[in-house]
Amino acid sequence: MWLFYLDSLQDALPFFLKGLWITIQVAGLSLVMGTGAGFLLGILRSARIRALNLLLAAYVDLIRGTPFLVQIFIVFFILPEWGIHLEAFASAVLSLTIYGTAYICEIVYGAIRGIPRGQIEAAAASGLRWWQQMRYVVVPQALRPILPPLVGQYVLLIKDTAVVSVIGLTDVTRVGWLTVQRIPNGILVFGLVGLLYFLICYPLVYLSNRLEARLKVEESTL
């Protein structure tokens, strides 16, 4: 029986790879955009502009305080009510970007706050404008503490892409659902789905751990 399932699973493999490709596209696009927006908002948050800060804090709390599943439903089902029609793929990328941006914003903001005040004062005293202080002095130093949690966040976001299957996007998780109806061996089918996620995520988990370890060594030698 298992042999038979394995055989049909092999036939279904192109279908899985197609799903994997969707997962990779959704994850890749939203990670790139979320990183850009997260850095921008994280840097803006450290500008200490009261109104902007309240707004960004509210955004971050709102996103972190609600399930991603609900967020993606809002984007997919409620935006059309307001006349904004997005395809499943665009909805998935948009909601994941909004979601990822909030977490990345906090990582960046936290790291920037950890940079000693004297660094910013030295940069300001030499005549650099605020964005130049950020660009040349603060952010380069913040990258070290940012990278390990950022890569860790990437792993979480990639795994969270599984949720996009609920709006009908045929990502690798949905391929699993569709396949298990033809090949009724859940362990085998979702074992394969899990393996595919693991193959993408593990290198990042490994990288994150290595970065973390390197940071610890550097801190202890300082």
The contact set with another protein (CB under 8 A) reads: 116, 118-119, 121-129, 132, 136-137, 140-141, 222
Smallest distance from another protein to CB 209, Å: 23
Nearest CB to another protein, comparing residues 3 and 125? 125
Smallest distance from another protein to CB 221, Å: 9
Residues in the chain: 222
Selection from 205, 208, 206, 178 nearest residue 192 by Cα: 178
Nearest CB to another protein, comparing residues 20 and 211? 211
> Which residues, other chains included, contact 30 with Cβ-Cβ below 8 Å and sequence gap of 6+?
92, 93, 96, 97, 100, 157, 161
Backbone angles phi, psi at 141, to 5 degrees: -75, -30
Smallest distance from another protein to CB 74, Å: 41
Smallest distance from another protein to CB 129, Å: 7
Smallest distance from another protein to CB 164, Å: 39
Nearest CB to another protein, comparing residues 87 and 218? 218
Nearest CB to another protein, comparing residues 3 and 222? 222
Residue entry with tokens 């970007």: 97
Smallest distance from another protein to CB 115, Å: 10
200-220 burial string, b = 16+ CB within 10 Å, else e?
Answer: bbeebeebbeebeeeeeeeee
Backbone angles phi, psi at 4, to 5 degrees: -60, -45
Distance CA 131, CA 137 (A): 10
Nearest CB to another protein, comparing residues 67 and 127? 127
Assigned token pair, 139: 């952010």
Nearest CB to another protein, comparing residues 54 and 122? 122
